[in-house]
Amino acid sequence: MDNNGFSTAGNHPEALAQLKLNSGIELRYQSCHTAVSPQGFVFEGHVPAKFVRQFLANVPDQALGLSVPGMPVGSPGMEVGDKFMPYQVLLLKKDGNHEVFAQVDSAADQR
């Protein structure tokens, strides 16, 4: 994210799982990394910077943030040569529901 114009700061809380739950990120949406924007939106997992920018430029109603559950091979930070696993970027909503924010079918779709 730092290489894509975002300012980040690392934090390693002991109760990370509880922090995620307290932030509204249910287990089914969780991954390894959690970011919280200055506005309070959450970005869970390996969400490409492209989609974070799109989200912040036009925040959907009742949005909590975005998530890429798990750690799909080929997502930002999970590169393994030329291997790629298609995945979805989910829009998390404050009521606990989600919808697909973006379908990522190739590495090029992330840029």
- CA-CA-CA-CA dihedral for 100, 3, 105, 68, to nearest 10: -40
What is the domain partition of the chain in residue ranges? 2-110
| pTM recorded for the entire structure | 0.90
Tens of pLDDT, residues 50-62: 999 999 999 999 9
Best CA proximity match to 72, nearest among 105, 34, 38 = 105
Sign of CA dihedral 34, 36, 37, 42: positive
Show the low-confidence residues of the chain (pLDDT under 50): none
Report residue 29 as tokens. Answer: 């949406």
DSSP-assigned letters across all residues of 11-45: ---TTHHHHHHHTT--GGG--S-EEE-TTS-EEEE
